[in-house]
Amino acid sequence: MKIFEEKCVSAAADVGNALAMQQSFKELKCKPVLVVKNYCRSEFPPPGSFKLNVDGALSSNGLIAGVGVILRDSKGEVMMSAAKKEQGGLNAVEIEGLAILHGLQFSNHLGIHNLVIESDSLLVVNEFARQGSSKAAIGNTIKQAKELMRRFSSCVVQYANRSFNAAAHSLAKFGLCVKNISLWWGSFPDVISNILWIDSLVEVLVLDE
């Protein structure tokens, strides 16, 4: 067993991390550090702030949906991660809205004052930015989420490219397989360990620039 960010990593996961890094190195070794940084991850939030990345996923038949959320601090350390299954015929926009709502519900009691929420659904992000009540089908979900957002000193919802939202996306797909919900406080499942490992590698490259 190997310790990564104070979490035991199995030999199989360790091999996966190594292969993932090798592949990423081959793809990015000739690119400038700034390009690597912009391609692989978004910026960590400033000190005293936290970033909540969220995403949703649908099963092939559309009958099951999954939600993935991951909360990180200004150093990129994982404070919370979660994968949740949703039943019913939800569309992609509805599940993206639910991902934000559930992420806020999971984070609300952690004593956080400043929160940045990132989603790769531009439509949903624009609905959150709209003044007054949303007329979209997810209007009620947005209303509930905004009520939770008011409990923070500052809380914004912003767009993130899918390549910056890989951990939340993988958690959302994992949510399709869980019984109901899986929560990790100060930790994360092996399904995103490769992604976080690459993020940490890129951070080292940026700091060494």
Q: Quick one: average pLDDT of 44-49? A: 90
- Measured distance CA(175)–CA(81) in Å, rounded: 11
Q: Please give the pLDDT value at position 90.
A: 84
User: Is residue 34 over pLDDT 60?
Assistant: no
- The three-class DSSP label of residue 142 is helix
- Among 39-53, 75-89, 169-183, the least confident range: 39-53
* Rounded-to-integer distance, Cα 46 and Cα 114, Å: 10
What is the average per-residue pLDDT within 31-55?
A: 72
pLDDT tens for 196-209 read 887 766 555 444 45
Contact of 65 with 56, CB cutoff 8 Å: yes
Q: What is the mean pLDDT of the chain?
A: 82
Angle between helices 33-40 and 11-28 (to 10 degrees): 130
97 contacts 145 by C-beta, under 8 angstroms: yes
* Residue range 10-14: mean pLDDT, rounded: 54
Q: Is the pLDDT score of 187 beyond 60?
A: yes
Using the Cα atoms of residue 129, residue 169, residue 184 and residue 63 in order, give the sign of their dihedral. positive
Compute the distance between CA of residue 171 and CA of residue 70 in angstroms, rounded to an integer. Answer: 8
CATH topology of domain 43-190: Nucleotidyltransferase; domain 5 (3.30.420)
pLDDT at 45: 87
Half-sphere exposure of 16 (CA within 13 A, CB side): 13
Confidence of residue 43 (pLDDT cuts 50, 70, 90): confident
pLDDT at residue number 87: 82
Contact 57, 95 (CB under 8 A): yes
- Domain limits, the chain: 43-190
pLDDT score for 26: 57
Of 28 and 114, the structure prediction assigns the larger pLDDT to 114
110 CB neighbour count, 10 Å cutoff: 12
pLDDT higher for 52 or 60?
A: 52
- Residue of 208, 87, 101 whose CA lies nearest to 145: 101
pLDDT in tens, 61-120: 888 999 999 999 998 899 999 999 998 778 889 999 999 999 999 999 999 999 999 999
Return all residues near 161 (Cβ < 8 A) that are at least 6 apart: 42, 120
* Beta-carbon count within 10 A of 13 CB: 20
pLDDT for residue 205: 47
What is the mean pLDDT of the segment spanning 145-162? 95
CA angle 184, 105, 158 (to 5 degrees): 95
**For 81-150, where are the alpha helices, taking DSSP H only?**
92-107, 122-129, 139-149
What pTM was computed for the model? 0.78
Task: Give dist(CA 190, CA 14) in Å, integer.
Answer: 10
pLDDT at 33 over 60: no
